[in-house]
Amino acid sequence: MSQPDRSFHVARRGLLRHVAALATAGGVGDALAQGGSAAPALPLPVPASMQTPGAPVGTKLYGEPSPFESKVVRNVAPKLPQYISASSRTPLQDLDGIITPNGLFYERHHGGIPTIDPASHRLALHGLVKTPLLFTVDELRRFPSVTTIHFLECSGNPSYKKPFGKTASDIMGLVSCAEWTGVALKTLLEEAGLLPGARWVVAEGADAAGMTRSVPLDKCLDDALIVYSQNGERLRPEQGYPVRLLLPGFEGNMSVKWLRRLKVVDAPVHSREETAKYTDLLPDGTARQFTFTMEAKSIITAPSGGQRIASPGFVEIRGLAWSGRGKIARVDVSVDGGRNWTEATLHDPVLSRALTRFTLPWRWDGAPTILQSRAVDESGYVQPDFSELLSARGENSFYHNNAVQPWRVAASGEVSNANA
Ligand code: CO
């Protein structure tokens, strides 16, 4: 009869030894030892939530976050000349995982958010095609469907201008990631039939800006989607309801929202958004045009600017990495201002052109230091330092800043933007 007792004691001693060993190594046991409070007084008090029934089913027919999470909202600059052509940022530092909730997905509008009745909305496909077509939303939904997970990112995320901002959201919140459902643009182009000379497709939005971008035909025949759903539900108005274009890995403004027209042409149309804007001015006065791909990037979201490490000891460094060229192959993290780099753990799923989660266990000794991450994608491209970007493109550039983001950790545990 004493056998079970003995094994229990052995197991418990083993567990304590295990925790002690981890604590010495600065592992999880250490975090538990430092993170917990004193032993609870028993019996535990019965909380109010157990003494009366909670809210009935159906109290909210469309659910929303706990009232205690009311500060987790989109980040909108407090002082802008106007809010019609403007952006809101995803609170990256407050989220977990790779999927951005629809209510927190970043926004960039050029003429405000239109209200569009799907019953009257039409998508025209014309130009260099055998049969011009006009689709209702219901007709688009009848085509074979595709569901895929991709990030979407503004090409001005972040800008080149210091001080960039304080939090991960201020600096890199113009990126989000969702599961998208729609019809492959290739399917629609095959339905219409391409004529000789077809090289580009001009996409036009039904917003007040008439947002217009030229898209190379090879992208349209590759992974471009006409999307009607995001994270399982129909697109939100601010994401292009009822249909939008999605060009995985390309700068966000090309994924034209409220899509009303696709014209197949032989050459780009040089619209405002590909001449006056969304080009990259170089030191010699020339500008790069049609820089579509969002290059590899990463950011540590915890601990990050505006947060505070509670005490020395175990800290799990957490972050996100992504590349418009495909999958993330590796993320290296430095906890000493870039002198040494350690390969972080990538967490499944590691998907092409999607946010990818990485973590690295760290023991903070309480000394001031600088944390940073550096992504490498499957093409072998390595995320650059800001100084490397400046030497290549000069100070006049505005878009496509994918530089390493350093965070300063003070002795107090306060974390701030080391670029500020
Ligand atoms: Co560009």
Q: Average pLDDT, whole number, for the chain?
A: 92
Distances (CA, A) of 78 to 75, 82, 86, 198, 326: 9, 11, 12, 45, 35
**Residue 400 Cα to ligand 1 middle (Å):** 6
Average pLDDT on 175-187 reads 98
How many angstroms is it from 274 CA to the middle of ligand 1? 8
Q: How far is the CA of 378 from the centre of ligand 1 (A)?
A: 21
236-287 pLDDT, tens digit each: 999 999 999 999 999 999 999 999 999 999 999 999 999 988 998 888 889 9
**What percent of the chain has pLDDT above 70?**
91
Q: Is the pLDDT of residue 203 over 50?
A: yes
Higher pLDDT, 287 or 187: 187
Q: Which domains does the chain have, with CATH numbers?
A: 86-288 (3.90.420.10), 297-417 (2.60.40.650)
Task: With a cut of 70, say whether residue 224 has pLDDT above it.
Answer: yes
pLDDT above 70 (res 302): yes
Spatial separation of the C-alpha atoms in residues 315 and 304, rounded to whole Å: 12
Ligand 1 midpoint to CA 298 (Å): 18
Determine the distance separating the centroid of ligand 1 and the alpha carbon of 119, expressed in angstroms.
Answer: 34
Instruction: Check pLDDT > 60 for residue 358.
Output: yes
Hey, what are 130's tokens? 């055998």
Q: Does residue 375 register a pLDDT over 80?
A: yes
Q: Rounded to the nearest whole angstrom, what is the distance from the C-alpha of residue 130 to the centroid of ligand 1?
A: 32
Distance from residue 3's CA to the centre of ligand 1 (Å): 70
- pLDDT the model gives residue 122: 98
**Structure confidence by residue, pLDDT tens digits, 75-95:** 999 999 999 999 999 999 999
CA distance 412 to 410: 5
Confidence of residue 342 (pLDDT cuts 50, 70, 90): very high
Give the model's pLDDT for residue 162.
75
pTM of the complete model beyond 0.75: yes
Predicted confidence at residue 38, as pLDDT, reads 81
In the reported structure, the alpha carbon of residue 131 is separated from the centroid of ligand 1 by a whole-number distance in angstroms of 32
Q: Rounded to the nearest whole angstrom, what is the distance from the C-alpha of residue 108 to the centroid of ligand 1? A: 15
Burial of 214 (0-12, 13-18, 19+ CB in 10 A): buried
Residues in the chain: 420
| C-alpha distances out from residue 382 to 38, 265, 277, Å | 46, 35, 27
The dihedral of CA 146, 151, 155, 156: what is its sign?
positive
Distance from the CA of 73 to the center of ligand 1, in angstroms? Answer: 28
Q: What is the per-residue pLDDT for 164? A: 79
Ligand 1 centroid to 397 CA: how many Å? Answer: 10
Is cis: bond before 237, omega within 30 of 0? Answer: no
Instruction: Report the pLDDT value the prediction gives residue 37, as an integer from 0 to 100.
Output: 72
C-alpha of residue 277 to centroid of ligand 1, in Å: 9
Sign of CA pseudo-dihedral 159, 255, 206, 103: negative
Q: How far is the CA of 137 from the centre of ligand 1 (A)?
A: 30
Going from the Cα of 63 to the center of ligand 1, the distance in angstroms, rounded, reads 37
